[in-house]
Chain A
Amino acid sequence: MIRWRFIFRQINSSRKQALIFILCVSLSLLTLVSLGGFSNSVRQSMLKDARQLHAADIMIHTHYPASNTLLEIVNRYKSEGLAEAVLVHEFYSMARNTGREKSLLSELKVVEKGYPFYGTVVLKSGLDFSKILQAGRIIVEQNVLDRLQADIGDRLQIGSTELTIVDVVVSEPDRPVSFFSFGPRIFIAADDLEKIDLIKKGSRIHYNYLLKIHNQDMVDTLADELSDVAIEVQERVNTFRTAESGVKRFFENFLFFLNLIGIFTLLLAGIGIQAALYTLLRESNYTIAIMKSLGAGSAYIFLHFTVMIMLLGTVGTVLGLFFSYLLQLYFPVLFTGILPAHVTLTIAWDVVFEGLVLGTVVVGLFSYLPMRRLRNVKPALIFRKEVEATRNDLPHYASITLTILFFIGLAVWQLEDVKTGIYFVLGLLGLVAFTAIVTQVLLMLMKKRSPRLLTLRQAFRGLFRPKNATRSIIITLSASLAVIFSIYIIEQNLQSTFIQSYPPELPNAYFLDIQPSQKQEFSNILGEEPQYYPIIRARLTSINDRRINRKEERQRRRDNLAREFNLTYRDFLLDDERITEGNNLFGDLDQNSLGNGELPVSVLDFVAEIGDIKIGDLLVFNVQGIPLQARVVSMRTRTASRVRPFFYFVFPEKTLKDAPQTIFSAVKIDRQRLTMMQNRLAEQLPNVSVIDIGKTIEVLARIIQKLSSIIQFFTLFSIIAGLLIIISSVFATKLARIREAVYFKILGAGQGFVLQVFTYENLIVALICALQAGIISHVGSWAVCRWIFDVPYKPLPVATGIMILSTILLVITVGLSASLSILRQKPIGYLRDEGQE
C-alpha cells in the first residue's frame, strides 16, 4: 500500500532537489519535443514527398542538350503513352528594367507546358500557373519587383527581348527555399526561349528533362533503360528516389547538427536528473535508516521512492510539454528566412509520444543508480554518520553500459548514420575520460597543498569535505562547457571566414559567361583590360585506373571530385600561386614523357589532397562528351586569400585554346560604376552574368546569422542543463557548508571570513572548469576547423576571455547565492537542529 503522505512529506523536505529533478525532466522533454517537432515539420513539408521535391518521377540532368539516342527514347515513351515529359532550362542572366535603368542577376527557369508534374507553383494571385505563364509573359519573385522597382504589367528586358511581368511566384515545389541562389527567380515560357537568345556555347545552362511515368511500377525500369543510353558522367538519369537534392542535403546537415546538440542536452539533463536524485536520496538517508529500524522493508522504501520519481517525472513531463507548446509559438520568429513561409511548424502527437517514451527511458536509466543506493542504507546508519562505501557490482556496470548503449542507439537513430553516431558518443566519452583524468590530477595536487592564507586553506579543505561531489561536478561542468564553447568558437570561425574577412582590395564583381568573341566589347564597357580567365567545363572521370565514384564523392564535406570543374589554360602563374612540385607550371615540357594524345596539366594542391593525386598521374576528363587525357606535371599551392578566383586544373594555352569555352573575369569596381556596368552589359551583352559579391555576401551573412541564432538557441538548452547541475550540487553541499560556517562562527570568525572561504571555494571550481573547457574547446575547434571545415582557425581571444569570465562569474554567483542564507544563519539555530541527530 502506498502512503502518499510520506511521499509528499519527502518531496517537501527535499523540495529544491525535487524541483531540479522536475526541471531536468522537463528540459529533456522540451529538447526532444521541440527538436523533433522542428525536424518533423521540415521533413513533412519539404523533404517528405521526394516526387514534389523534384516535380517529376524521372529527371535527366545535363549541361548540354540531351543526346539524340536519349531523346528518341523519351519521345517513344511519349508516343506510347508511357510518360509525359517537359524540358526545363535553368540559368542565370541579367534582367533589366529599362524604364528605371536598373538591372539584376536573376535565376531564369524556362519551362514547357506541363511543368510541374507534382506539386504546384503557387502564385500571389492564386491563379493557375500553367494558364498564366504564356509566351511573352514572365512570372517573377517579389524580390525582382522590389529590386528593379517594377510592378506587375511592367516589361523587363531579358536577353534580346522584353517580356511582361504578369504575376508573382510565392513558392515552387522543386525549390522549397531560395537562399542558395545568387538571384531571384524568373519563370519564362518555353516559347520565348529562342527570342531571348541566351543559350550560348559553353555557358552554364542546366537542362532538366522531367518525366512523369503513368505506371509507377515502371519508374525504375524506364530509368534503367534511359541510364543505359545516357552519355556517362554528362547525362545524369535519376528517379525521385535516387536523386540528390541540395536543399535536402542542406537541411539534413543542419538537422544533423541540431540533433547532435539535442543528444548532448539530453545527456546533460540526464546527469542533472541523476545528480538531483542522488542528493535527494542522500538527504533522505537518515529518514530511510530510521524507517528501516522501525521495520520498513526495502521493497516498501523502494516502492515509495519509485512512486515519488514517477510523480516528479510526470510533473516534469507536463511542464516540459507546456514549455514546448510555448516554444512552438516562438518557432515562426526563430525560423523565418530559413523555412519557406508556407511551412507550418506544429508539434505533432507522434513527436510528443516519441518524446514521452525517450524521456521515460532517460529518467529510468539515470534514476537506476541512485535508486540502487537505497539498498545500502542500513538501519545501523543512525548510530554513525557515514554511509558505507558501495561496492560497484555487476548491475552497476551493466547500468552504465546500458546508458552508453542507449545514447549510441539514440545517436545512430537520430543522425541516421551508424559510424557517426558511435563516434559521437565515444567522442563524448573520451572527452569525459580526459577531463576526469586532468581533474583528478589537479585535485590530487591541490590536496597536498596547504596555502598560507587561512581562508584559502579552508577553501581547499572545503573542496574535499566528505560527500562533496567536487570531482564529478568539475568533470561534468568542464566537459559540457568544452562542448558549448566549441560550438560557439566553430560557429564564429565559420562566420568570420565566410563573411567578415572579405578583404576590400579584392574583386567585388564577377562576370560570367563572356563569349570569347565579346572580350573586346567587354573591355570597352569596363574601360580597362581586365584579367580574363577562360573556362572549359568538364568532369573528371578517372584518376589513373580509378574511376570517380559519384556516390562516394557526394559524401565528402569539403569538395567532391564528381562535380563539374572549370578547367582553364594559361602559361603563367597567378600572383597568389606558387609551384610546390615540378620545375615550373608545365615542367620541362618534354613531349616524350607524355603519352599519345596526353596533355600536361598543373594541379592545385587542395584538390590533389582530396583525390590523392600525384605528379605523373593520368587524369581523364570529359569535355562535352569528348574524353581528354591529362598527365600531372606540376603542383601549385595558393599563398593568399581564398576569395580570389582560382583554378584546380591549368593547361597550356595552346592545348585548349580552341575548346568550347566561356570567359570569366573578376574586377574591383565601386558600387556606382557596377550598377552602370550592369545596365550597359544587360543592353549590349545580355548573356553576360554579373555577380555582385558584396550583395551575395550580405545575403549569405544574413542566412548564416540566422542559422547561428537557431543553433545558439538550442545550445541554450544545454547551458540551462549545465546550470541545473551546478545548482543541484550547491544545494547538495549546503548542509555541510552550514556546519562549517557555524563552526567558524562559534570559533569567532565573522561573516566576511565565511564569505571569503566560500568565494574562494567556488572560484577554484570555476577556474578549473573554465580553463579546462577553454583549452579543450580550442584544441577541439582547431581540429574541426582544420580537418572538417578546412577553414583557417582564429582563436578569438576576446570571446574566449568573455566565455571564461562569464563561466567564473556564473559559477560564483550561483554558488554564493545559495550560500547567502548560510551567512546569515545564527549558530544556535543550527546547533538546535543538529542536536536532533
Chain B
Amino acid sequence: MSTNELEAQKISKSYTIDDRQIKVLDDISLLVSKGEVVVIEGKSGSGKSTLLSLLSGLDRPDSGKVIVNDRDITHLSEDELAPYRNRTIGYVFQSFHLVPSLTALENIMFPAELNNDPEAMEKAEGLLNRVELIDRKNNFPHQLSGGEKQRVAICRALVNSPQIVFADEPTGNLDSANGEIILNLLLELRSELDTTLLLATHSREISNLADRIVLLADGRIESYTDKVPE
C-alpha cells in the first residue's frame, strides 16, 4: 500500500445552466498522503466545494478518477459509497448541515449508529464534552448558535474516527472569534486522531496551518505550495 491515501487523476466537472456549459473543474490532479493537512485556497466560486465533493465521493466527476486507499471510487454506486462515507471520511460543511429533526447528541451519534457501534452514545457524549457542549446535547439545531452548530458538526465528522476529514470553509459562516475556536478545535482533534485533513478556505489566514496549499483558479490548480518549515 502506498502512502498516497487520496489521489485525483485529471478530474473535470461542468454544470449546465440553461443549455450553457460551465466548466468548474478542468483536469485537476492531486496527491494527498496519510496524515497531511492540505488547504485548498481560492476565491469564492473557484470550485473548492465542487472539488471537495468530488474527492469525498458526494458527487461524481464528469471525467477522471478519484482513488482512495488504492480503490477507484469514481464508479461506485451510491450504496457502495455509503460505507466509505460512513467510516473512511468525515465532512464538515460551511453551513453545518445538521439534521434539523435530530438533537445535537443524536446528530453526532447517527454515523456511529449506522456503523452499529454499541458505544455510539458514549463516543458522542465524549466528543460533546470535548467541545464543551455536553449541556446542550438535547438541543435541536435551530436552538444552537452558528459556532455551536459547527462544533457539533465537527464531532459528527469525527465520531467514527475517519481517515480523512473534509472541511469546506468550516468558518465561513462564523465570526472571526468563533472561527478561530473552530479551526483550533479541528486541528487539535485531527492531530489527536492522526486524521488527514482537506480544508477549503477563501481566506489566506488559515494557510499557515497547512502542510501544503493548493491554489485554485479558473477551474485549474494554479500552484502548489509546500509548507515552508519555519
Contacts and interface: CB of A to CB of B under 8 A. Distances in A.
B78 A378 contact: yes
Nearest to A833: B142
Given A295-B87, A300-B114, A380-B58, A9 B101 contact: yes
Contacts of B171: none
Contacts of A832: 142
A153 B49 CA distance: 101
Nearest to B15: A384
Contact of B113 (A3, A9, A292): A3
Contacts of A380: 53, 58-59
A298 B79 contact: yes
Contact of B102 (A6, A292, A300): A6
A382 B87 contact: no
B78 A297 contact: yes
Contacts of A837: 95
Contact of B83 (A293, A295, A383): A295
A286 B99 CA distance: 8
Interface residue tally on B, bucketed by range: 35 or more
Given A9-B102, A833-B142, A836-B100, A383 B49 contact: yes
Interface in A272-319: 286-287, 290-300
Contact of B86 (A294, A375, A833, A835): A294
A740 B95 CA distance: 21
Main secondary structure of the interface of A (DSSP, over half): helix
B146 interface: yes
Nearest to B110: A294
A585 to B, nearest CB: 78
Interface in A803-837: 832-833, 835-837
A617 to B, nearest CB: 71
A382 B79 CA distance: 18
Contacts of A493: none
B174 to A, nearest CB: 11
A383 B15 CA distance: 13
Contact of A294 (B53, B111, B146): B111
A253 interface: no
Given A9-B106, A382-B93, A291 B99 contact: yes
B162 to A, nearest CB: 10
B82 to A, nearest CB: 4
Nearest to B142: A833
Given A295-B85, A382-B93, A836 B114 contact: no
B160 to A, nearest CB: 8
A293 B157 CA distance: 10
Contact of B114 (A13, A296, A298, A379): A296
B101 A287 contact: yes
A383 B113 contact: no
A456 B83 CA distance: 51
B178 interface: no
B79 A297 contact: yes
Contacts of B95: 835-837
Contacts of B58: 293, 378-380, 382-383
B125 to A, nearest CB: 16
A290 B106 contact: no
A163 B43 CA distance: 111
A453 interface: no
B140 to A, nearest CB: 9
Interface residue tally on A, bucketed by range: 20 to 34
A10 interface: yes
B96 A836 contact: yes
A286 B59 contact: no
Contacts of A10: 101
B102 to A, nearest CB: 6
A1 interface: yes
B142 A287 contact: no
B79 A299 contact: yes
A833 B142 CA distance: 6
A641 interface: no
B149 interface: yes
A835 B84 CA distance: 29
A835 B147 CA distance: 12
Contacts of B100: 13, 286-287, 836
A4 B158 CA distance: 24
Interface-centre pick from B82, B116, B173 (highest chain A CB count, 10 A):
B82
A837 B113 CA distance: 24
A288 to B, nearest CB: 9
Interface in B49-103: 49-50, 53, 58-59, 78-79, 82-87, 91, 93, 95-102
Nearest to B101: A13
A375 B98 CA distance: 21
Contact of B101 (A3, A12, A292, A833): A12
Interface in B114-171: 114-116, 141-142, 146, 149, 156
Contacts of B87: 295
Interface-centre pick from A286, A380, A835, A836 (highest chain B CB count, 10 A):
A836
A448 interface: no
A673 interface: no
Contacts of B141: 836
A530 B102 CA distance: 89
A9 B146 CA distance: 22
A551 interface: no
A5 B121 CA distance: 14
B159 to A, nearest CB: 9
Nearest to B57: A379
A836 B53 contact: no
Contacts of B83: 295, 297
B84 A295 contact: yes
Contacts of A295: 82-87, 111, 114-115
Given A292-B82, A295-B85, 17 more contacts: A6-B110, A287-B100, A287-B101, A291-B99, A291-B110, A292-B78, A292-B85, A294-B86, A294-B156, A295-B87, A296-B86, A297-B79, A298-B78, A298-B82, A380-B58, A835-B146, A835-B173
18 contacts: A6-B102, A9-B106, A286-B100, A287-B100, A292-B78, A292-B82, A293-B91, A295-B84, A295-B85, A295-B87, A295-B114, A296-B82, A296-B86, A297-B79, A298-B79, A300-B82, A383-B49, A836-B100
